[in-house]
Structure 1
Amino acid sequence: MGSEDDGFEIELRERLRDLHTTVARLEASIDTHRAEAVAEVEQLIADERTALDNRASVAKSQVDAKFTEAARTVRADTEAAVTQLAPGVASTAWTDTREGDAPVRPASYVRFGTVTSGASALAPFLEHPGWLLRGPSPTALEQINNVLLRTVAQTPLRFLRLRVFDPRIEGALGAFAKLREADPASFPPGAHSTSDLNDLLSQVVAQASVNAEQMGSHHARTLGELWEDEGRAVAPYTIVVVLSYPLGIDEATQNMLVRLAESGYPRGVSLLVQRDEDAKPARGVKPKDLEKLLVPFESVDDRWISSVLPDTIQVRHDLPAPREVARAIVQDAVHAVGSDTGPVVPLSELLAKHVDNPWTDTADDVIEAVIGRRGQEPLSIGLRSENPPHPNLLIGGAVGQGKSNLLLDIIYSLAVRYSPDELEMLLLDFKQGLEFKRFDKDADGENWLPHARVLSLESNKPFGLAVLEFVSDELERRAEVFNDARCNGITEYRARTGLPMPRMLLIIDEFQVLFDGDDDLTDQAVRLFENLAKQGRAFGIHILLSSQTVSGISGLRAKGESIFAQFPIRISLKNTREESEAILSRQNTAAAELTYRGEVVVNRNLGLASNNERAVAAYAEPSFLVDLQSRLWRRDTRRREPWVFLGRSWAQWPAAPVVSEESEAWIGRPIAITDRPVTVRFDRDIDQSIAVVGTGDREAEAVLGAVVATATANWGSSGRVVVLDGNSASAEDPEMLRAALDRCRLRDQDVQVIDRDAITRFVVDTLPGFMTDNSAPTLIVALALQKVADFADEQPRDPEDEFSYETVSAAEVLREVATRGGTVGLYLVGWWPNLRAVASHLSFDHAGVGTYVMLRAGLDDLRSVAGPHMNAPEGTPRVVVVDRSSHEGAQVVVPFEPLTTEVTR
């Protein structure tokens, strides 16, 4: 057992050794496979990691690209939103010089800082209640200056009101003081006391009320909408800056501030309030009542925080505007005021469709004129008798605001639409100028306005009265016509009869001249005018009155209210508050708020403020008017010249004077609407002489020349003219009568001129023979007989008969000729410097004088002849004609222009 056991043990050990060997070999093989497997796995992992890294890199690149694009889109959208909310200077940095088209309305948002990305941070300002700024005073004031600068840069200065309450009198906004040099209303001196602030806020409330009325007339919700509707600035924005709040604020001013913050912003009022934490509010003042209405900003370090901003948004302070930038903005605003003349609406554009095809409208119901634009729409006014009755128009405006231009708009707009058979105009200019001269014929005698029936080109009350009398007569004539046709008015008459009775438009520029005074002429003018204003509409008679002022007209003190009640349509250009109320109505000061020359307030309801329409009158281009009037003149086939009155000119000779069968001397034209001259007829009767009395060589030349030329016109070759010339020592034609005497000679009439030294003997020796045997009608013209030394001395009747003692004076012979000469066809016209000289030659009672023609006579002489209440006639040249045999009294006459060789009879 022992050896077997040993062999078994040995075999077992060998097997165990082989097993260990095998195990070792297997372990070595396993380690080798494990290492290979690990290496393979690690390689696989490395390969996968590389692939993943590649895919991740691609994905990251794609994500980065998308993020970049998204960021670019967000930035562009942000910039677009910023540009839309606050275009231009309202949002750009001070270093950004971008400029674009100015918006119609200023931005309602404005920049107050920058966010982390550098984009502008905006907050609502204009057309919003406003801002409340807390923090260090310098920072708040820098922000206020920045906001005001951005607002000034984008708002026309005429339409911006900066109102400052500065109780500490710090003058922190002094950089804007230069604005008031261009427009005092834009930045008046600041208020420093509570009472001053109360006045300031009252003015702001009044302006907000005016803005509200304009907005209401356009149904606009905000002032900006009104600007856009009009296409221009029409009413001002107001910024109320309150510094050191609530210092100096009492309960009343606090309530007004709260009221403005609650309801003023749609009407253009916004607040900028700087909160002073050290200032204690006065009794009754609760700052939170105001602060809760405003956008709050608090300065912390270099950031603005606000309860209306998310906590995640960090807004950095804006730097204050550089001095040169601030100065440039203010200077540009000042310069723009001088160059801004306002919108221009050419009249040619408004009338374009009528110019090529004029006179297509009828005046059956209305005469309508387009005179400008209201917003984007044409503005028209219509004068009508009924439905509703708008018969008359009142226009007012300060000097230089475009009143004359507006009148031209109306006149030419009517003239191009209605033919002279539909409308005729009577045009009176009381301005001491010649505004209406354009409607008269030109230098070639052509191109007058066909519709012009009467033209008065200078201020003259007597002629104004004559026009009123003419229109009153026309009203009475039409009343008879309508009564015969059984019609109640012009509309019914035209419809029933088919007859084109024209409407009549009386236009009086500076009408107050006609009605200012306390004399009989003024009273008569007021009486006639009142009747025309009240009754004219039914007869197609309309009135347009125009003036710089309608207040304080003495002649209308008693009846002005009842007269102006007949003028429902009222138009005012810019004027004072007082005149605005006088033209429109009490408490209607809208005309004082107008900005540009040519802007108008139109009211069709007796000036009631709620009916105001704000518009721009068209610009009547001079060249267009000349061409238009020429076109209308060529279209008119009637060729009826207007009746023209020039207050400082001679009367014009008719183109074809009528020669009567009688010996008729023409003096001139009456101050009346008639072509019939004022004449003196020489009859075969006693007392036919004419005494021309007074000084003034030109007037005397005009009167005496006209008398000689016209009285002898139908005498033929048998006529005779004898001139007793006391001015000259030679028997030559006197200069003043030369043209008239030439006409007599052209008719082969006998003309004799007796010089001063021969006058006495001629009168004594020759005139008695004319009295006993006068075969030819004779005109004796006596000039300056007071210069003939021996004219009143007794002379021998027959100087050759030395035994005759019978004497007579030349004065006695002249009295006989003056008294009885007419019975034998011997007529006397003499010129004396005064009535005393007349009496020295024709006795104290001026024997034989049938007619006086008073030149520049003394007042005593004038009243002695014309009556105790007569005054010297207004204007020049003028003469007063008094017929002693007539009950009509004195007549003021405009002499015919002195004769020249070009004037024939």
Structure 2
Amino acid sequence: MSVPVGLDESGRVFHLTLGRGVTHHALVGGATGTGKTNLLHLLILMLSTTYSPQELGLYLVDFKEGVEFQDYVTRSLPHAKAVVLEAEREFGASILQRLVEEMERRSQSFKAVGVSDLPEYRRRAGKAMPRILLVMDEYVVLFSEDDRLSFQASEALGALVMRGRSFGIHVLLSAQRPASTFLSMVQIKNQMGLRIALKCRPDDSTLILGEGNEKAAKLVQAGEACVTSDPDRIDATVRIRIARLEPSERTLYLGGLREFAQLQHYSRLSEMIVFSRDAQAPWPKSPAIARRLTSPAWNSLATPQFWLGQPLRIMGDLAVELAAEQGANLLVLGSDADLSARLLIASVLGLSISIAPDQARFVFIGAPNPQQPSGAIWTAIGAAKAHVFEMTSRQAAVDTVGMLMSELDTRLNGLPTQVSKRIFLVLAGLHQWYEARGPNPYTPSPAGESLNRILQQGPQVGIHTLAWCDRLNTLGSVIGTGSAQDALAYFSHRVAMQTTQDESVNFIGVPHASKLGSERAYYRSERWAADELEKFKPFALPSVAEAASITSTIKAHWTKP
């Protein structure tokens, strides 16, 4: 791949080349305001106008605070396979892993044909296989912490830069100051055959261009750059002036590329992967949920399930199944009332589309305030009557729990029988249910004792609990186990919001939830390996009108003849 990007000192057009000789991957660096972002846009558009989508696929990942790559989503750049805006570390790492998997697929294809590189494969197989370019801006964020994720990302990146060249996979890493990362990633740095340094400090110039090469520190104007494909030779460095690409010109290029793709009848083989850190995740637009809502006919799923939010990596929707087995209950832990309500609402809506009304019943214990957004949504769900949805105040809930106990005993005495109707008990604020607390953490009230049995024995006979609690100690005091760990044994499905380090360790086995911040949560299944977690973006709260429309759609689907 070779494209013009500017002029050299003699006034001749200068081309940047990847995929030839030893220049398969690139490192770009430069201080703020020196033209690094302009260079990235120029490269992306020059490559896209020179090579067709059948010849080149782009993965664009931006870790900066901003939306530099937004135009490629808005204008639907045909070459873009993935565009990640304000990327989170987890999603950036998953892009690397996706490309490692693609590299392994290509390896198998090459072996089947008996070739060792992309040009030879194209000739012998007679098939179009595009080169892939991964552009990671401010990639240092991905390696900013000394943790398991950073290790996994460095392993994946190392595999790509050391083996990807044979399979037509190229990497361009960009950062204002790459030093903090490359000091400990020498092997990866050595694979960066093409080095481009805009104006920067002498030590950064040396790191980017090669030992003793401080030429980029002597640059004067924004848009000037030093380029080398031989870091061992200072005299191989070329000084260039990068062309300026105005935003309006970028828009024209993208419009032209899109029109040309339409004229060529180009169609994507798969949807563009798009992730934006701050964009909301609407429940109806989740791929699995959208497919379900638009399906012409519904049948109950073999195992009731629901979806919690958008995973922070490339994968299918984060689905939770409630099988008829011990521990099949959900506990949401943390003090964020709004976020917990969104999680429980998403869970109930998901269950409502996975199981028919004649096979399920919802029992809600709490006092939703219709003046609050979440309270209005709960009221709308109950009013829709798509399923039986019983709402009980905490004061009256003791009798409700008693009735559930009777149902539990009936089902237990009838074993072995197939569970005919699931019951989902929703506890929206277990810590606020003072009537269920006993005189001390080890002595439960009658209601707490009943709840203990429902949690312990209910799931096996189709009675599941979805609960929110602020702290683990509260959980233990309500159900009378005293020990939070004893109480946790009843919850195989766990969602941690922002909480303390100790709570996080006790709940999900690691302290990570103490650093979550708002709008994020961790999911853990006790069936997973000890250190396995899924970080995700919880679904946004629908408006009352949206909730009414969703529940109306659900009811209409289940009542179709």
TM-score, with length taken from structure 2:
0.85
Deviation of the 1:678 alpha carbon? 1.4
* Distance in 2 (alpha carbons) for counterparts of 1:840 and 1:452: 53
Corresponding residue number in structure 1 for 2:306 = 665
Kindly indicate whether residue 335 of structure 2 is the aligned counterpart of residue 710 of structure 1.
Answer: no
| Structure 1 Cα separation of the partners of residues 332 and 128 of structure 2 | 47
| Paired residues of 1:429 and 1:508 also in contact (CA < 8 A) | yes
Task: Tell me the distance in 1 between the aligned counterparts of 2:379 and 2:271.
Answer: 31
Following the alignment from structure 2 to structure 1, what is the Cα–Cα distance between the partners of residues 381 and 303? Answer: 18
Q: Counterparts of 1:579 and 1:748 in 2: how far apart (Å)? A: 62
Q: Structure 1's 581 and 808: CA in aligned 2 closer, same or farther, altered over 3 A?
A: closer
Q: Residue in 1 aligned with 2:525?
A: 883
Deviation at 1:708, TM superposition (A): 0.8
Q: What code does the residue aligned with 2:65 have?
A: Q
Q: Which whole-Å CA distance do the structure 1 matches of 2:171 and 2:271 have between them?
A: 22
Give 2:267's match in structure 1, choosing from 630, 633, 638: 638
The residue aligned with 2:24 is 391
Structure 2 match to 1:368:
2
Alignment pair present for 1:751 and 2:389: yes
Q: Report the counterpart of residue 528 of structure 1 in structure 2.
A: 156
The superposition leaves residues 676-729 of structure 1 with CA deviations (integer Å, 9 ceiling, x where unpaired) of 11121011222211011112133213311211110121323323222111x55x
Q: Quick one: structure 1 residues 821 and 734, their matched pair in 2 at CA, closer, same or farther if it must change by over 3 Å?
A: farther
> Offset of 1:575 from its aligned partner?
1.6
Residue 382 of structure 1 and its aligned partner are, at CA, apart by 1.6
* Aligned mates of 1:467, 1:875 — CA distance in 2: 23
| Counterpart mapping for 1:560-709 below 5 A | 560=186, 562-606=187-231, 608-634=233-259, 635-636=261-262, 637-639=266-268, 640-652=270-282, 653-654=285-286, 657=289, 658-659=291-292, 660-674=301-315, 676-709=316-349
Kindly report which structure 2 residues correspond to 1:744-893, keeping only aligned pairs within 5 A, or say none.
Answer: 746=384, 748-769=386-407, 772=410, 776-793=421-438, 809-842=446-479, 843=481, 844=483, 845-846=486-487, 847-868=489-510, 870=512, 872-873=514-515, 876-887=518-529, 889-893=532-536
Deviation at 1:661, TM superposition (A): 4.2
Contact 2:504 2:511 in 1 (8 A): no
**1:740 to partner: Cα distance:** 6.3
Higher mean alpha-carbon deviation, 646-655 vs 853-862, is at 646-655
Aligned counterparts of 1:405 and 1:547: Cα–Cα separation in 2: 13
- 1:403–1:573 contact (8 Å) kept in structure 2: yes
Aligned to 2:69: 436
Judge conservation of contact 1:425–1:507 (CA < 8 Å) in 2: yes
**Contact 1:409/1:620, CA 8 A, preserved across alignment:** yes
For residue 13 of structure 2, the aligned residue among 336, 357, 378 is: 378
C-alpha separation in 1, matches of 2:256 and 2:145: 42
CA contact (8 A) 1:684 1:824 kept: yes
Bigger-Rg structure (1/2): 1
For these two proteins, the number of residue pairs brought into alignment is 513
Residues 215-614 of structure 1 aligned to structure 2 (within 5 Å) = 367-374=1-8, 375-384=10-19, 386=20, 388-441=21-74, 447-553=75-181, 556-560=182-186, 562-606=187-231, 608-614=233-239
> Identity over the aligned pairs, expressed in percent?
27
Deviations 1:155-199 (A, max 9, x none): xxxxxxxxxxxxxxxxxxxxxxxxxxxxxxxxxxxxxxxxxxxxx
C-alpha contact 1:722 1:778 (8 A) present in aligned 2: yes
Distance 1:741 1:382 in 2: 61
Deviation for aligned residue 1:450: 2.2
- 2:298 corresponds to: none
Unaligned runs of 5+ in 1: 1-366, 442-446, 795-806
Change (3 A) 1:599 1:533: same
Amino acid corresponding to residue 530 of structure 1 in structure 2: G
Provide the secondary structure at the position in 2 that maps to 1:712.
helix
Q: Secondary structure at the match of 1:705?
A: helix
Amino acid at match of 1:682: L
**Which residues of 2 match residues 30-45 of structure 1 at below 5 A?**
none
Q: Using the alignment, how far apart are the partners of 1:703 and 1:548 within structure 2?
A: 38
Correspondence 1:736 to 2:371 = no
On the 8 A contact 2:498/2:515 being kept in 1, the answer is no
Q: In the TM superposition, what is the alpha-carbon distance from 1:601 to its structure 2 partner?
A: 1.6
Contact 1:768–1:813 under 8 Å retained in 2: no
Q: For the Cα contact (< 8 Å) 1:651–1:668, is it kept in 2?
A: yes
Deviation at 1:459, TM superposition (A): 4.4
1:86-124 superposed Cα distances (whole Å, 9 cap, x missing partner) = xxxxxxxxxxxxxxxxxxxxxxxxxxxxxxxxxxxxxxx
Q: Is the 8 A contact 1:721 1:749 kept in 2?
A: yes
Deviation (angstroms), 1:827: 1.7
Cα shift readout 1:594-645 (whole Å, capped 9, x = no counterpart):
2211112222222632122222111112122123223333425425542222
Stretch of structure 1 that moved more, 610-619 or 765-774: 765-774
**Structure 1 stretch 516-525 or stretch 768-777: which is displaced more?**
768-777
1:453-478 per-position Cα deviation (integer Å, ceiling 9, x unaligned): 22221242222222222221221222
In structure 2, distance between residues paired with 1:882 and 1:575 = 44
Counterpart Cα distance in 2 of 1:493 and 1:707: 48
Mapping of 1:6-17 within 5 angstroms? none
**Bigger Cα displacement from structure 2, 632-641 vs 535-544:** 632-641
* Residues 108-127 of structure 1 mapped to structure 2, 5 A cutoff: none
Cα 1:497–1:741 shift into 2, 3 Å: farther
Seen in structure 2, the aligned counterparts of structure 1 residues 866 and 766 have a Cα distance that, compared at 3 Å, is closer
Structure 2 contact 436–445 (Cα < 8 Å) conserved: no
**Per-residue deviation, 1:832:** 0.1
Q: Is the 8 A contact 1:692 1:831 kept in 2?
A: yes
Give the Cα–Cα distance (whole angstroms) in 1 for the partners of residues 320 and 336 of structure 2: 21
SS at match of 2:241: strand
- CA distance change for structure 1 residues 874 and 571 in 2, over 3 Å: closer, same or farther? farther
C-alpha spacing 1:765/1:734, structure 2 compared with 1 (3 Å): farther
How far residue 389 of structure 1 moved from its aligned partner, in angstroms, is: 3.1
Check whether the contact 2:312–2:536 (CA below 8 A) recurs between aligned residues.
Answer: yes
TM-score (norm 1): 0.54
Q: Which amino acid aligns with 2:497?
A: L
Q: Specify whether residues 535 and 791 from structure 1 end up closer, same or farther in structure 2 by C-alpha distance, changes over 3 A only.
A: same
- Give the C-alpha shift of residue 408 in structure 1: 0.2
Measure how far apart 1:489 and its partner are.
1.4
CA distance in structure 1 between the partners assigned to 2:251 and 2:378 by the alignment: 38
SS of 1:713 mapped into structure 2: helix
Structure 2 spans left out of the alignment, 5+ residues: 293-300, 412-418, 555-561
Give the Å deviation of 1:494: 1.2
Rounded Cα–Cα distance in structure 2 between residues aligned with 1:398 and 1:569: 18
Contact 2:395–2:435 at 8 Å: present in 1 too?
Answer: no
Distance 1:697 1:610, change over 3 A: same
**Aligned-pair distance for 1:771?**
5.8
Retained in 1: the 8 A contact 2:63–2:141? yes
Deviation at 1:745, TM superposition (A): 5.5
Q: 1:655 to 1:531 in 2, by over 3 A?
A: closer
Tell me if structure 1 keeps the 8 A contact 2:215–2:226: yes
The separation in 2 between residues aligned to 1:701 and 1:631, in whole angstroms, is 46
* Structure-2 change in CA distance of 1:405 and 1:874 (3 Å): farther
